[in-house]
Structure 1
Amino acid sequence: MAKDVGLTTFQLSRLFGRVVGKSMPALLRERRMHRAAELLRSTGHNIGDVAFAVGYYSISAFSRAFSREMGMTPSEYRRRPTDGQGTDTSPGLQPFAAGG
């Protein structure tokens, strides 16, 4: 990506951080965890499947990242009261796409 815009990787990373306010990996992690939270809230899929869907192959690494971002473990998040919407147990988990 840096090459496409005529910058070094370091320059792109610094510019991105200045404009967005966080690093590219931090933004990607944030988006993954918010997508995971959505899946935990709206599906009955197990935590391992949710972790895999957002790009984690280790449940423990996923749980640590989720806890850092959301302030609670995935299990705690799932057990908290819902907003009255209930849960959707639809079967399809789609892999995480950084752009979507």
Structure 2
Amino acid sequence: MTNGTTPGPITAGTTAPTTDVSTMTEERMMTDHTTETRPAGVLSRVRRPVLWLLLAVFAVCNAVSSIADVNVFVGVGFGLATLGCAAALIAQHYETRGNGRS
């Protein structure tokens, strides 16, 4: 190397700069691999029942607001909240399930 940035010709007695490919591959595998199953933590165990409870509460509120003479935007809000809880439950299911199917 002539100035530290541009590789120059290799002369007798000098060695070419090497890159440890195995270390780079291991680091990449450790950082890029996100499909492994994680152990169920406290947050994961608490989040699912809370989401189910909120889903049930919002669904009942949505039904009551549809039957009662309430502003339509209140019903839409409860419907969107119900949909959000359902989407969060589905996302959590796919996060925590095993690698049975690809």
Q: TM-score, normalised to structure 1's length? A: 0.28
Higher gyration radius (CA): 2
Q: TM-score, normalised to structure 2's length? A: 0.28
